[in-house]
Amino acid sequence: MKLILWLLALFAAAVAVTLAAKNTTGRALIEAPPYQLELPLDQFILAVAVAFFVFYILVRFILGIFGFSQRHRHKKTDEMLLSGLKAYFEGDYVKSQKNTAIALKLADSSTAKAISAVIAARSAQILNEVAARDQYLNTALSQAPDEKSLCLAARTEFMLQKGDYQEALRILQSLYSEGGLQSVAVLQLELEAQQQAGNWDAVLELVDILAKRQSVNKTLVRKLKHDAQIENIKSKATDLQSLNQYWQCISPLDKMDSKLSVAAVRAYISLGNCNMANKIIESNVPMTWDNELIELYSECLDYHVSRQIECAEVWLRVHPNNAILLLTLGKLCTYCELWGKAQNYLEASLSVEPGHKAHFALAQLNEKLGKHELAMDHYNKGLQLTLKQLS
């Protein structure tokens, strides 16, 4: 349709020029010293029209050549970038670096430049070509500043792979200084940097932020929070006040998690606070029956041991064949010098499940009773079981 309209307009213009020329009797004088040209006015009009037409065709031809060159450049950029990406995912990092480096030079758009630079830099990183890696990123940062976050995220990742979390955090801080909502990838990089730095409070803050994003793995976020809570408890095992404050802030549901409880109990035991350690165990064991918690019940002993024995014997009625619980009762009774009960519990533990800890506990008990040969026998059996486990 557009071509037909152009043809109609052209024919109309030709008819108009012909009619105008037929009724025109004037002359046109073209003077360019020392030359002078005089033409009938109708011929002059016709010459101008032809010149305009030739000029138009020439301009379109030049623009066509230029457009072809641009299209060819874009096509070549796309080919090199896609080829580089394919090689990267196939593990051919030499080819990936080569092709994406070409795409970086040819690309016009900031996005294409940034993606090409990042893939080339990642390939160079794997090939341990640090200078080339940094050059690609610097080129993209200077030529595509509006895609700065993509390049800085890659640089942060490289620093974390190196273990330089301080530099990684510095890079991220420069990125945050520009404001705006940060991507999930950037937040995950900061989370890893804070993990390396041991800043567990910061890790938990980032986990809470990530939990609100739609594009994250919720199971992974829960695991990250769980692990950070455990590490945070361990980090506060040198200060009772900090540990108390943190443990009080944990939700009742989280406190019933056996791994968190184990970490808290160990922290309180290291600080000599047996009362709090045993309270956590006593509130948790009837819900989880975690053997590690049951075993820790005999690790921190004070004047409440007799009450601990009563509590553990209540548990034993529910789980009479729990070897760890029987071992714990044997240790508690040994501490209270209830020799007969201690021996019965320890021997019952061995009958349920032979273990080196029960043998060593019986050996120590027999030493206190002066039964040195029997003590040596249990030491040997315990040592044999230990060596068997190690092998």
* pLDDT score of 47: 66
Model confidence at 327: pLDDT above 50: yes
Q: Which CATH class is domain 315-390?
A: mainly alpha
Burial class (CB in 10 A: 0-12, 13-18, 19+), 299: middle
Cα radius of gyration (the chain): 41
Answer yes or no: is pLDDT of 25 > 80.
no
- Look up residue 77 and give its two tokens: 């950029």
pLDDT at 75: 87
In this structure, which long-range contacts are made by residues 222-226, counting pairs with CB atoms below 8 Å and at least 24 apart in sequence?
Answer: 224/191, 226/257, 226/259, 226/260
Write the DSSP string, 347-372. Answer: HHHHHHS--HHHHHHHHHHHHHTT-H
Predicted confidence band of residue 73 (pLDDT cuts 50, 70, 90): confident
**pLDDT score of 389 more than 50:** yes
pLDDT(69) > 60: no
Between CA 321 and CA 317 the distance in angstroms is 9
Q: What percent of the chain has pLDDT over 70?
A: 82
In this predicted structure, what is the pLDDT of residue 159? 95
Which structure tokens are listed for 33?
């010293």
| Separation CA 29–CA 53 (nearest Å) | 22
pLDDT above 80: residue 103: yes
The whole-angstrom separation of Cα 295 and Cα 349 is: 12
Q: What is the pLDDT of residues 128-182, one digit of tens each?
A: 999 999 999 999 999 999 899 999 999 999 999 999 999 999 999 988 887 777 8
Q: Helix (H, G, I), strand (E, B), or coil: what is residue 32?
A: strand
| Average pLDDT of the segment spanning 71-99 | 91
Inform me whether the pLDDT recorded for 341 exceeds 90: yes
Mean pLDDT of 207-223: 90
Position 11 scores a pLDDT of 59
Spatial CA neighbour of 332 closest among 315, 355, 307, 369: 307
Residue located via tokens 């010098």: 337
Average pLDDT, the chain: 87
69-143 and 315-390 have identical folds = yes
CATH code, 69-143 = 1.25.40
pLDDT tens digits along 222-278: 999 999 999 999 999 999 999 999 999 999 999 999 999 999 999 999 999 999 999
When pLDDT is cut at 50, 70 and 90, the band that residue 68 belongs to is very low
6 pLDDT higher than 60: no
pLDDT exceeds 60 at position 379: yes
Domain limits of the chain?
A: 69-143, 315-390
pLDDT score at 304: 84
Which pLDDT belongs to residue 108? 87
pLDDT surpasses 70 at 359: yes
Calculate what percentage of the chain has a pLDDT beyond 90.
Answer: 68
User: For position 67, what pLDDT does the model report?
Assistant: 47
